[in-house]
Amino acid sequence: GAKVVVNDLGGARDGTGASTSPAGEVVAEIKKLGGQAVANHDSVTTLQGAENIVKTAMDNFNKVDILVNNAGILRDRMVFNMSEEDWDLVLKVHLFGHFYTIRAVSPFFRQQRYGRIINTSSIAGLYATTYGQANYGAAKEGIVGLTRKVARDMGRYGVTCNCIRPTAGTRLTLSEEMMKARTEDIARLEEMKPEDIAPMVVWLASDDAANVNGRAFYVQTGRIGLYSEPVMEKQLVKAGGWTIDELFNFMPITMTWELVNPDPPQPK
């Protein structure tokens, strides 16, 4: 088993507040099972905070081999109601937080020519199934792009970087309001345990996954999927370029005729 630094600021699901309890409870659980762990409460929203997390690992265990990025908050608002703070903080925790921890740990990985990075994305930015998550969706899709580019930067040094798109019931995804509502979707989400995500993370962190780099996986209880890389579905090609009139004529009959607006205009 790995020696673990458990980082958690311990804030609320909207990023406010802080508490040492969440990280401390996980550390106690690991120790009870015979493992070694220490808690860290720095925020990933700054490079200094990320460097302190890595320093905690080096000070306590003299080495760092694996980074699992999983910090997250939610501030759901329809885009016309979203404040600059709602946008900035979600991007800071998710996308910037992933970069900062990777930036902090990558010199160690490069020097030892070994490392595993597992990032956490989401299906929220991939499918138009939720409302009010422009900030969250943008951050999570940004993490997929970051994963691909870090994989290329660090692969030559024996480092892999992959991401998961998990579905599970956690203190982030199951708010008090949602629990009180007790809808069918909430009951189904409760059945998807976060501990069922862990085995895939462990596998990606192993030597058996050394050939897997820059890829995204869907993970939920009893289900794992590998996402294909983005591909171009269709092309219109013409020497010399297209005129505006030509595009108005050709686009509807050659390229977009099968497309359906996922959210068409609604009656007032």
The residues that bridge with 68 in the sheet, in sequence order, are 118
CB 38 within 8 A of CB 70: no
Catalytic residue among 100, 114, 136, 218, which?
A: 136
Residue 136 among the catalytic residues:
yes
3-state DSSP assignment of residue 96 = helix
CB 23 within 8 A of CB 7: yes
CB 6 within 8 A of CB 14: no
Q: φ and ψ at 66, to 5 degrees?
A: -135, 135
Q: Is the dihedral of CA 33, 34, 35, 40 positive or negative?
A: positive
Beta-strand pair 37-40/4-7: parallel
CA neighbor of 163 nearest in space, from 234, 216, 93, 227: 216
Please tell me the distance from the alpha carbon of residue 255 to that of residue 234, in angstroms, as a whole number. 7
CB 15 within 8 A of CB 93: yes
CB 114 within 8 A of CB 63: no
Please list the active-site residues.
136
